[in-house]
């Protein structure tokens, strides 16, 4: 029988990974375009990054999208996000 604490440990590990991914994405955006985004405004779903920022910042992100993806690929490897919205 699986104990609740074992399930909670697994869930905690998944949440930590998600938090760490958001911190790395935030760091890459800060280094490439100088935009400091709160991690609460970053969501990751199905290898797609969803950013809750003003449209002017999204335009800057899309202009430098290639640089951002190269930096993310160095950090995450094969599991790097494939799209930004």
**Residue 15: is its pLDDT beyond 60?**
no
Say if CB 42 and CB 26 are below 8 A apart: yes
Strand order in the sheet with 83-84: 42-45, 48-51, 83-84
| Residue 42: both structure tokens together | 């970053």
| Residue 69: both structure tokens together | 């993806």
Calculate the CA 36 to chain-centre distance: 13
- The answer to whether residue 76 is domain-embedded is yes
Query: In the chain, how many domains are there?
Result: 1
Question: What residue numbers bound the domain in which 46 lies?
Answer: 20-84
Kindly report the pTM of this predicted structure. 0.78
* Crossing angle between the packed helical segments 55-63 and 65-76, to the nearest 10 degrees: 70
**Residue 27: is its pLDDT beyond 60?**
yes
- Over residues 52-83, the pLDDT tens digits come to 999 999 999 999 999 999 998 888 888 788 88
- The answer to whether residue 77 is domain-embedded is yes
């Amino acid at each position: 029988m699986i104990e609740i604490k074992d399930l909670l440990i697994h869930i905690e590990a998944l949440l930590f990974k998600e938090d760490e991914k958001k911190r790395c994405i935030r760091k890459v955006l800060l280094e490439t375009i100088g935009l400091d985004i709160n991690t609460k405004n970053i969501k990751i779903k199905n290898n797609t990054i969803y950013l809750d920022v003003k449209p002017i910042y999204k335009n800057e992100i899309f202009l430098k999208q290639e640089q951002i993806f190269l930096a993310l690929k160095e950090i995450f490897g094969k599991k790097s996000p494939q799209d930004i919205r």
